[in-house]
Structure 1
Amino acid sequence: MNIKVVRGNPTPEELAAALAVVRARAAAAAALPPGAPTPRDSWSDPSRIATTHLPAPGPTSWTRTYWPS
C-alpha cells in the first residue's frame, strides 16, 4: 500500500494517525464475511429513513414534512 501526500506538510505523528485509520478500516473490511453489507451500504440505504410515518394532515403538517421527529 502506498500513501502519497499531495498537499500540506503533515508531521510524522499525523501521518501515523492517518495510516492507523486506513489500516483499521482495511482490517475491518477484510473481516466481514463475503456478501455482508458494508457500513457504507447501510448508511446510503434509502429505506433507513422510511421507518417513520408520514405526518397526519393538519394546519401544521407542512412543518413536519422534511425533518423526521
Structure 2
Amino acid sequence: MLDPTTTEEHGEHPPFPPIKVVRGNPTPEELAAALAVVRARAAAVAAEAPASRAAQEWADPARTVPRRVPHPGPKAWRTTYWPG
C-alpha cells in the first residue's frame, strides 16, 4: 500500500491535502463517501476559471460613456461630466 503523503503519479505531494478524522469512527464506506463529496467540490471550485480582466472590462457598459479628463483648477470636479 502506498504512503498517503506521497504518490507515484503526483510526485512528492498528493493533489489534495490530507484529511484527518478528529472525532468518531467512520466506516470505510462513510469515509469514502465524505471524501468523494469534498474532492468533487474542490475540483468544481478549481475548474471555475474566473474571466480575465480584459474580458470583464470589454463587457462593462460603462466603458462606452465618454469621459472627459478634468483640468486642474477650482471646482474642476463639478465640470468633469458637463457636455462639451
**TM-score (structure 1 length as normaliser):** 0.47
More helix by share: 1
For the pair shown, the structure with the greater C-alpha radius of gyration is 2
**TM-score (structure 2 length as normaliser):** 0.39
